[in-house]
Amino acid sequence: MPRPKGKTLIEVTVVGPDRKGVVADITNFIFKSGGNIEKINQSVLRGLFGMQFEASFAEEIGREQLDLGLKQLAKKLSMEIKVHYQEPNRLQNVAIFVSKEPQCLVRLLQAKKKGQIRANISVIIASDSTLKSLAEDVGIPFHAVVHRDQAETENRILQLIEQYNIDVIVLARYMRILTPNFVWRYPNRIINIHPSLLPAFPGAYAYVQAYERGAKIIGCTAHFVTEDLDQGPIIYQESFKVSTSDTLDTIKEKGQELEAATLLEGVRLYLENKLEVYWGKVYVKEDK
């Protein structure tokens, strides 16, 4: 949907130690700047405060003016405040996170080459160097972030996300858990693929569990990532029937192919601006 002329739309994330007055100070700043808050969500977990909101400004507002005001407010509150400007007419920048399994990454790269998705795949971030050659083959920057300390790892990734001006993060079988400190910064902008029809068979051994329990239908789920592991709003799901001739190996093979296709569909729907999230549920806009 084209952006109304003169209107500025922003997403703001606030993360830091929980304290009184944060919400009031930030919302008052937006109102005094001529903005209207469209959506807002806030959470507190083990003393860590996170807030995300969307705001609209009826008139064009200078980015430097808004950025400076929020920077001063962040210093006053001892919080981290980030602004993401919505620019519907610009191709979105995508970061793909990977570990060792190539299927989802390969499918996304093929889709980009064939024009099935319109976006800039700006960077591939990995937990090791296993898939580096796939990135080199298509000329996409590749960064292996291998710090043992989770906080150090996420700080480095946050630096890369800012460096490449990333709009959406795709977890293409990325096998490290992201903490609330990271996730809260990108509300409904991190898409994951899970090898199960959530919430059944969670975890890394979903196919083994499904096989051992004699499941007749196995599937996978593309969903947004929240601080609750594998509980985020579901974007898209697919499944396949298990035949009597299937083995664990054939189930894994079918499942990995379906994961790649399901993740791609979830990403496509997001990039085409067909997803709306209300109260933890995803609604897909129908074509007119």
Superfamily of domain 8-85: ACT domain (3.30.70.260)
Residues 6 or more apart from 135 whose CB is under 8 A from it? Answer: 124, 141, 142
State residue 173's pLDDT score: 95
**Span 134-173, pLDDT tens digits:** 999 999 999 999 888 888 999 999 999 989 989 999 999 9
* Exposure string over 111-149, b if 16+ CB within 10 A, otherwise e: bbeeeebebbbbbbbbbeeebeebbeeeebebbebeeee
In terms of DSSP H, where are the helices of 58-205?
63-77, 103-114, 132-138, 150-163, 180-183
Reading the block at residue 218, the tokens are 């196995």
230 is catalytic: yes
Superfamily of domain 93-284: Formyl transferase, N-terminal domain (3.40.50.170)
**Span 4-25, pLDDT tens digits:** 445 778 889 999 988 888 899 9
Nearest Cα to Cα of residue 70 among 89, 90, 85: 85
Three-class secondary structure of residue 158 per DSSP: helix
**CATH 3.40.50.170 spans which residues of the chain?**
93-284
pTM for the model: 0.81
Report yes or no: 237 and 222 within 8 Å, Cβ to Cβ.
Answer: yes
Options 149, 228, 230, 246, the catalytic residue: 230
**CATH 3.30.70.260 spans which residues of the chain?**
8-85
pLDDT surpasses 90 at 44: no
Nearest Cα to Cα of residue 273 among 88, 106, 130, 101: 88
Mean pLDDT across 37-47: 85
Nearest Cα to Cα of residue 173 among 212, 122, 127: 127
